[in-house]
A = this chain, B = another copy of it.
Amino acid sequence: VPNAEDELIRRIRRRVPSARGGGLHVGIGDDAAVIRPRQGNEWVLTCDQFLEGVHFLRDVYPPDAVGYKALARATSDIGAMGARPRFFLLSLCLPEKLAGSWLDGMANGMARAARQYGLTLAGGDTARSAPPNPCVGLDLTVLGETRIGRAVGRTGARSGDALFVSGTLGASQLGLELIRQGLSRKKRWRKLLQPHFYPKIATELGRWLAERQLVSAMMDISDGLSTDLYRLCAASRGGARIYEDRLPSVAVSSDLAAAGLDARSLALHGGEDYGLLFAVRKRHIPVIPKVFRGHRITRIGEIVAGSEVTVVARGKSSSLAPLGWDHFRKSN
């Protein structure tokens, strides 16, 4: 077919897993995808934008990081419900000049995330972005599958539940700050950018916790611990107390601290780590491991009565403001 849009879709398909099977009855190439659930299962569904100038800077991000991170961060919400990632749709808006090697690099990164998390591309949409300021935009819709009734929401935490997080807090934000301060191209800091470019999401941990019914509420930390803990508490109609010295904060070397980077602030408010935040009834606490397939698990506090979120540091308790990411906050 002599159609440039169809050709672009073929470029993506050659790289990203998109074969039928495993419940995908009709895939790319028709008006819509057709998926058949397994009996006794239900679908978990989310979408997530990854936009140039908003979520990433194209002159800083390697193309494969754009593809990897766009899919990983959307899939994170599926893991946070305790579901198994299955299929995804890609809406892609692209300047014409990026439809060649940049697109191939992006698709390679997306393919790596798809294989890592068990995802098949089932469909999507493409558009050429508009002048005068053509930007890349990706929107990922991800479907997961879970046994009926096993999906874990945010509403089930109760006073007395222990609060856990997985992974390191503030590692992605540290990478972002290095970019903002123009330090990202220095070789000595390059390794610190990896958690920002290629976040490792805890999908298998989420499934494991949900299948064993060990958690009363769970979500991923995408906008920062302070903001997301506030959301979990609001949904569960409770408050929380966390302990600053227990937080698995990112390590900040003395020269970066001198440049104004603060481990406490990064850990409390830094976004895009995509670790899991979850609440556990007292009787299940001993079952929670310290490490799960490379993801460190840390008990950081507990759910309390009321609606306040407080942080305890050096024996003093103070209110924790939700100062994580907020797209529509005036001062952003």
Q: Which of B1, B51, B54, B227 contacts A231 (CB 8 A)?
A: B1
For residue A151, which residues in chain B have a CB less than 8 angstroms away from its CB?
A: 25-26, 32, 34
Within residues 278 to 332 of chain A, which ones have a CB less than 8 A from any CB in chain B? 322, 326-330, 332
A258 interface residue per 8 A CB criterion: no
A36 interface residue per 8 A CB criterion: yes
For residue A326, which residues in chain B have a CB less than 8 angstroms away from its CB?
A: 3-5
Number of copies: 2
Bound complex: CA A231 to CA B59 (Å):
37
For residue A230, which residues in chain B have a CB less than 8 angstroms away from its CB?
A: 1, 3
A270 interface residue per 8 A CB criterion: no
For residue A162, which residues in chain B have a CB less than 8 angstroms away from its CB?
A: none
Question: Of A134-142, A181-189, A190-198, A241-249, which binds chain B?
Answer: A134-142
A148 interface residue per 8 A CB criterion: yes
The answer to whether B328 and A31 touch across the interface, beta carbons within 8 angstroms, is: no
Look across to chain B and name the residue whose beta carbon is closest to the beta carbon of A131: B53
Within residues 46 to 79 of chain A, which ones have a CB less than 8 A from any CB in chain B? 46-49, 51-55, 77-78
Is chain A's interface secondary structure helix, strand, loop, or mixed overall? Answer: mixed
A258 to chain B, nearest CB (A): 31
A154 interface residue per 8 A CB criterion: yes
Bound complex: CA A47 to CA B25 (Å):
17
Known interface pairs A3-B322, A137-B93; A327-B42 also in contact (CB < 8 Å): no
Bound complex: CA A53 to CA B78 (Å):
32
Within residues 219 to 263 of chain A, which ones have a CB less than 8 A from any CB in chain B? 219-220, 227, 230-231, 234-235
Within residues 76 to 102 of chain A, which ones have a CB less than 8 A from any CB in chain B? 77-78, 80-81, 83, 87, 89, 91, 93, 96, 99
A144 interface residue per 8 A CB criterion: yes
The answer to whether B4 and A328 touch across the interface, beta carbons within 8 angstroms, is: yes
A314 to chain B, nearest CB (A): 27
Look across to chain B and name the residue whose beta carbon is closest to the beta carbon of A6: B231
